[in-house]
Structure 1
Amino acid sequence: MSPSDASDSAVLPEYLLDSVSLLSKKWHPAIVRCLADTTGCSFSDIEDRLDGVSAKVLTDALSELQAYEIIERREVSQSPLRVSYTLTERGEELNEVIASLADWGETHLAAPATERVVLVAEDNPRVNEMHTTWLEEEYTVRTASDGEETLRRLDSDVGVVVLDRRMPGPSGDEVLDWIRSQQYDIRVVMATSEDVDLDLLDMRFDDYLTRSSVDWRN
């Protein structure tokens, strides 16, 4: 096998490593994306758009991209000196590669959106249904009709519990005590049709609502 054949069959050919090295430099892809779909940008325009880049680092990056014929520097005027940077044809092709990498990263590497789960614990089916209708467009809603089912449906994914204070089985008060004993990071909204009483002073809920309270979603 000739040296040329060995190079062609390499798992990581030299030109691929060179391409990766070029794109791995922090500001190179950013500059290419900054210049994409423009008729040209001045040095100060690029500096303003790339938050955190120093003038020296930007100067060096622009010079290197010019050496690779990825960008072109043109003098717009000499007195005062004004220059404009644009992508070359080679730069336009590289921009498509960078855009594809960005799409791939968004699909496969981006952290998934955190699911927001609300558990509605209420023994009245109509109230359960009402809360679910209010919330399901913005949250994942779980429902429970008594204390036992509430405890079974509770886990660390739940962010908020709307808790009927007087539901069957373990009461809402007892479920609240259990949630706090487990040290779950869960907000508890205690809901009831009863009048407020002095027992509430010792209860560790985040909000207390009566049946007449208006939309508590915010």
Structure 2
Amino acid sequence: MHGKCIDKECLSSTGFSYTLSLINGKYKMTILYTLMSFGVVRFNEMKKYIGGISYKTLSSALKELEADRLVHREEYPQIPPKVEYSLTDRGKSLIPILDGMCEWGDKNRI
């Protein structure tokens, strides 16, 4: 059986690499999992749920996920300000991957 020759391949041009570039980061997968599990989530609720994440890190990760069209940010013009986050359709398309990771973790937890 002959497979691909690694000498002729480049990881950076694969779908795997592109997907990883969108979800890579210490908290991005956790943010996506949170939105998958709870739907619409406010900033402070997410910070409290995740725990251990700074405001700056959460804000930066959410901005990157929004720029990559995985997360939708809805801002309401009121005082105090109200901002809610949810998955876009593009973000929702990652749910089978996140579900698969959850299933694998449940089955292989030591």
Identity between Structure 1 and Structure 2 (%) = 28
Q: Deviations over 1:7-35 (max 9, x none)?
A: xx947443311212333312111111111
Task: Provide the residue aligned with 1:85 in structure 2.
Answer: 85
CA displacement at 1:98 relative to structure 2: 1.4
- Residue 53 of structure 2 aligns to a residue whose secondary structure is coil
Output the TM-score relative to the length of structure 1: 0.42
Task: Provide the residue aligned with 2:4 in structure 1.
Answer: none
Q: Which of the pair has more CA radius of gyration? A: 1
Verify the 8 A CA contact 1:77 1:83 in the aligned structure 2.
Answer: no
Q: Deviations over 1:51-106 (max 9, x none)?
A: 11000000000000001111100013333321110111111111221121232244
Give the direction of change, closer, same or farther, for the CA distance of 1:104–1:11 in structure 2 (3 Å limit).
farther
Give the direction of change, closer, same or farther, for the CA distance of 1:11–1:106 in structure 2 (3 Å limit).
farther
Alpha-carbon distance in structure 1 between the residues aligned to 2:62 and 2:96: 19
User: Which structure is higher in strand share?
Assistant: 1
Task: Provide the residue aligned with 1:49 in structure 2.
Answer: 49
Deviating beyond 6 angstroms after TM superposition, the runs of 4 or more aligned structure 1 residues are none
Alpha-carbon distance in structure 2 between the residues aligned to 1:55 and 1:49: 13
Alpha-carbon distance in structure 1 between the residues aligned to 2:91 and 2:79: 29
Q: RMSD of aligned C-alpha atoms? A: 2.1
Q: Deviations over 1:123-169 (max 9, x none)?
A: xxxxxxxxxxxxxxxxxxxxxxxxxxxxxxxxxxxxxxxxxxxxxxx
User: Which structure is higher in helix share?
Assistant: 2
Q: Number of aligned residue pairs: give it.
A: 102
Alpha-carbon distance in structure 2 between the residues aligned to 1:14 and 1:78: 44
